[in-house]
A and B are shown apart, each in its own frame.
Chain A
Amino acid sequence: MEPEKIKDLFLRSLSSDIDGNEREVLERELFTDHRFSEGFGEKLMKKITSAKVLINGKHDLARSFDSIFMRVAIPAAAAVVILVISILLSQGSLSYDTLLGIDNEVDGVLISLLAE
């Protein structure tokens, strides 16, 4: 089809209703390539089922807990590591007592307190 005719048909379709045949011509000549790649639907369904996309955020609460947990857990783990390193540096060894902040002298104080 001549470019001039396609152009006229296209411009006419903006301001008036074109008939079925003309629409077919327009689609064939100008818009046939507008398709998604092969496997679009499969990829999308996989995304929906595996990425836990949820209808109307049914489990959004669980999801927000997950994100809050990650935000809290990572700094907490980092704090524990820093604590362990600082104990190792200051005490030279690592034991439950030092981790809990109780040294041997505290045991004696506690026993005498209890004995009273």
Chain B
Amino acid sequence: MVKYDYTNSDDQDLVLQTLDGDNRAFNEIIRRYKNMVARTVKSMLGDVQQAEDVGQDTFIRLYKNLKDFRGDAKLSTYLQRIAINQSLNEIRRSRRFLSLFYRSDDKEDIRETELSSGEEERAKDIKDYVNMAISKLDPDFRTVVVLRAIHGYSTKETAEILELPVGTVLSRLSRAKDHLKELLKDLE
């Protein structure tokens, strides 16, 4: 039996093959985009078990709604949109749950972090510090930071993924930047 090489297929072909019942084509979609989705959900939620579950739900949702994907936007854009929405849903869900038990003081948490003296530990501390600051942002601001700074999308692309006007994205970026400056002011 000749083994079909999916790595050369473009996204649209993989979608059509999956719709024809070929799950190996969908496996190739997962292989291509799992790191992108991981970066989105882990930046939005932190490195927690829920992030893996949300990652899985993102691909399952894509699989279930594959017929609705008409190819107007790139598959990666469509998938990013699902990943962001799934992450926001998870944030809302856990916020509702956590709010039943306690209220945290965001600034207190982050300022307690002190950088280690060793080079490797220090690099890890900086990474944790910045990621913690991102996680302290309001979800709407966090979303634009993740797409712009972590994925490197342009403002226009970010607006397209979030289905928002460019002006709204710019305003959220500016406010997120101000908030991050404040949160990271002790990082020197």
Number of A-B contacts (CB under 8 A): 114
Tell whether, in the assembled complex, residue B43 and residue A34 are in contact, meaning their CB atoms are under 8 Å apart: yes
Q: Which of A6, A36, A47 has the most CB of B within 10 A?
A: A36
Q: Mark B91-132, 1 if CB is under 8 A from A, else 0.
A: 000000000000000000000000100000011001101110
Tell whether, in the assembled complex, residue B148 and residue A14 are in contact, meaning their CB atoms are under 8 Å apart: yes
Residue of B nearest to A58 (CB): B67
Looking at chain B's contact residues, the main secondary structure is helix
B66 part of interface (Cβ distance < 8 Å): yes
Tell whether, in the assembled complex, residue A15 and residue B174 are in contact, meaning their CB atoms are under 8 Å apart: yes
Tell whether, in the assembled complex, residue B52 and residue A36 are in contact, meaning their CB atoms are under 8 Å apart: yes
- Distance of A44 Cα from B92 Cα, bound (Å): 24
How near does chain B come to A25, taking the closest CB pair, in angstroms? 12
- Distance of A4 Cα from B174 Cα, bound (Å): 20
Within 8 Å by CB of B23, from A13, A26, A32, A45, lies A45
Within 8 Å by CB of A45, from B27, B64, B67, lies B27
Interface size class of B (residues with CB under 8 A): 35 or more
A residues near B115, Cβ cutoff 8 Å: 3
Question: Chain A: how many interface residues by the 8 Å CB criterion?
Answer: 36
Tell whether, in the assembled complex, residue B42 and residue A34 are in contact, meaning their CB atoms are under 8 Å apart: yes
Within 8 Å by CB of A13, from B43, B47, B148, lies B148
Residue of A nearest to B131 (CB): A30
Residue of B nearest to A17 (CB): B154
Residue of A nearest to B67 (CB): A56
B residues near A3, Cβ cutoff 8 Å: 115, 122, 126, 129, 187-188
| Closest CB pairs A-B (n = 7) | A56-B67, A34-B42, A34-B39, A13-B149, A36-B38, A41-B30, A14-B177
